[in-house]
Structure 1
Amino acid sequence: MKIRVKPLPLPHGILKRAAVVSHIPLRSPMNLERLPSQAAWHHWGIRCGFETAFFESHPGGSTIRGNTSAWEAEAAWSVGYVVQTDSQWRTLTAEATVRALDGDLNTMIQRLEGDSWNVDGTHRPDLTGCVDIDFESSVVTNTLPIHRLEFATGAETSVPAAFVRADDLRVQRLEQSYRHLTATPTGHIFEYRSSTFDFACTLEFDRSGLVVDYPEIGRRFNP
């Protein structure tokens, strides 16, 4: 995600609860519910736009299909994506198309054995060790590590990702981490950090592990 936002203050009481468990991490009671068949987000702040996503489960894993259309920095763009995961929510493939004033671009990304990656058939050793795909244009891909990992409350977990830029679909390594702060009646609160962009914020997820609120980037409709 882009970084031109300030860290979001934590909801009242979370700092106190996080401090209690900071020295002895506890296994978080994630107990995620099944993803809905569809969801939508209003993108705001750094861009103005709308995102829709559709979720399908099958014996071998899951398929996420989505699209974001937005106006950002005096330019319009639309990014469509299809992400395939295995049964453990590890990214297998990701396809994306961006449509903009200059025309259309496409990319095909594959995670291979040993967590190595190919981008449009070219091996990318700089991405080795990444398990997740992350689209700058989307808030949906934040759900991948949330479903894939077991988080210990108060402990920071490093989850580097293959990061796909919105404007030209170039792919770079994204160093990022998630810290589970607390469970709420409606979901979970995480602290998110990216050393790549020197950025931090708090993210609110619903009970199915989908982002409800990403500060100044996107908020879900009717979570």
Structure 2
Amino acid sequence: MSALSITRKWRRLDEPGLEVLHLQPDDDGILALATVVHVGTEAFGLSYLWQLDRDWRTRRLELHLASPSIETLQIERSHRGWQVNGRPRPDLAACDEIDLSATPFCNTLAMHRLQGSGELTTLYVDLPSLQLLPSRQRYTTLGKNRWRYTDLGIAKGFEADLEVDDENLVVVYEGLFETLP
């Protein structure tokens, strides 16, 4: 990532919703701060702070959810595996990265990790339920700044083409998200 901060705004295409994401470098990697407002079938508000290392790998994700009660969730990668709210979660040991259902930002982490076509297991965070499950995914490169996402787990069979910028931040996620100017 460049030394400059990046702001990205996405609009949902399947239901009403918006996200504003701010990325900024810090001493240990990258901070992602975002606010999501989803006014679809299950309305919720979400803010998150995602701490990444220099290789775009999750160190810690802190979620603040309003739906209709207020809940917080902290997910952290440690040398012993994933911890959720400070407690070890050995059932999530096979997870390579986090997939937060309400944002296309998580696709960026998978694409940086894979560096090309491949598969990985994600720690899928369903919103607004905050249910955590391992889920297998495939990313296939289709050319410069183009990928195909295929879900092999939670939503098995779902596919979508992604257009990304040079940082692998989603510009268009077929049928789900698009960048706003």
For the residue of structure 2 that corresponds to 1:159, the secondary structure is: strand
Instruction: Return the match for 1:142 from 82, 99, 107.
Output: 107
Q: Extract unaligned runs of 5+ from structure 2.
A: none
CA shift digits 1:129-170 (9 cap, x unpaired): 32322211111111112233322xxxx411211111111222
AA aligned opposite 1:169? L
Alignment partner, residue 159 of structure 1: 120
Q: Is the 8 A contact 1:164 1:172 kept in 2?
A: yes
Q: SS in structure 1 opposite 2:110?
A: helix
What is the CA–CA distance in structure 1 between the aligned matches of 2:102 and 2:4, rounded to whole Å? 20
Letter in 1 for 2:8: A
Conservation of the 8 A alpha-carbon contact between 1:194 and 1:200: yes
Name the SS of the counterpart of 1:138 in structure 2: coil
Local SS of the residue matching 1:160 = strand
Q: What is the aligned partner in structure 1 of residue 55 from structure 2?
A: 88
Give 1:189's aligned residue.
146
Equivalent pairs counted in the alignment come to 179
Distance 1:214 1:41 in 2: 10
Decide whether aligned partners of structure 1 residues 133 and 146 sit closer, same or farther in structure 2, where only a CA change above 3 A counts. same
CA distance in 2, matches of 1:63, 1:76: 26
- Using the alignment, how far apart are the partners of 2:159 and 2:119 within structure 1? 14
- Relative to structure 1, the CA distance from residue 34 to residue 133 in structure 2 (aligned partners, 3 Å threshold; closer, same or farther) is farther
- Say if 1:162 and 1:173, in contact at 8 Å, map to a contact too: yes
Matched, 1:124 2:89: yes
8 A Cα contact 1:91 1:131, kept in partner: no
Question: Alpha-carbon deviation of 1:122?
Answer: 2.3
Higher strand share: 2
Shift of 1:33: 6.4
Higher relative contact order (CA 8 A, sep 6+): 1
Q: Which residue does 1:105 correspond to in 2? A: 71
Contact kept, 8 Å, 1:33 with 1:207, in 2: the verdict is: no
> Are 1:50 and 1:70, in contact at CA under 8 Å, matched by a contact in 2?
yes
Structure 1 residue 36, shift from structure 2 partner: 5.0
Which entry has the higher C-alpha Rg, 1 or 2? 1
Deviations 1:104-141 (A, max 9, x none): 11101011226x21111222222113232221111111
Q: Quote the Cα distance in structure 1 between the aligned partners of 2:77 and 2:134.
A: 13
Q: Does 1:38 align with 2:7?
A: yes
Relative distance call for 1:136 and 1:194 in structure 2 (3 A) is same
Task: Tell me if structure 2 keeps the 8 A contact 1:131–1:160.
Answer: yes
Unaligned runs of 5+ in 1: 1-31
**Cα RMSD for the two superposed structures:** 1.8
Counterparts of 1:84 and 1:208 in 2: how far apart (Å)? 17
Q: What residue in structure 1 maps to residue 22 of structure 2? A: 54
Which aligned runs of 4 or more in structure 1 are off by greater than 3 angstroms? 32-36
Cα deviation for residue 100 of structure 1 reads 1.6
